[in-house]
Structure 1
């Protein structure tokens, strides 16, 4: 394709203008890079000479004393916890356990007293039955009635002791929770 001379001149002028513009842009970019480099260097100087000392002084003036105060307060709190709170809690728990042991001991003493009383009553009844049996059958040894009466007395004493034991024992598992009512099936 052939171009007219006029078009060729216009294209040549346009190309030279574009090259000039490109060179100018390269020069502007080079100047901008030099300016940015100088700004970075000045910012480093400013940081080193102005900001770092201010930050260091602020840390020494505000942060370090607050940290030391917090450390002292934490030490005092730890000492107070170790010397006052933990022994008080331990004493409270010990006292509560002592009260529980005392209550159980009182319950056990009452149970033993009831057992002794029931045992003495059973032995008295057994002796009465034995005396009556001897009076009826004036034999030299215990008869069949005496043996049966003593056996029944022993069984009654064991039953009574078991009932007393069941009454005084603390078994929380004896209670069975009520069953929850089941919901009717949705249709």
Structure 2
């Protein structure tokens, strides 16, 4: 197929335009990647500087006092039961049975020994603080992921209309006809 000199020049110019457009698109993509990397880094910095301290402060201000108060109340209940209730029950049993049996008889009675054998005193449960990632870590991670998704969506929105960058064949023919005239 032989092309006229004019057509070859037009095709050469068109090829140069397409190459230039391609290089511009590559530059834009490189810049978008740099922006996305910087956004990820900034999200990490923001998480470390703002989110983690606020979550830690909220935990220390709202949750930890409740845990300590609950432990304190549980300790008070345990002391009351061991110091007031159990001796009171013992006094009632001692007064009731004491009138009927002597103390020596009570100590030797098989029913009393069996009842004392069934009693078990448990040590109070100590709640240990959990070490490792807590709720704040997961919240910060979620915020970081949401920021990365937002950046990715913005990049996608920027580059999704590629079909509008090219000239349609109908318009190209019309432009070519105007250039010849």
Q: Give the TM-score taking structure 2 as reference length.
A: 0.42
Structure of greater Rg = 1
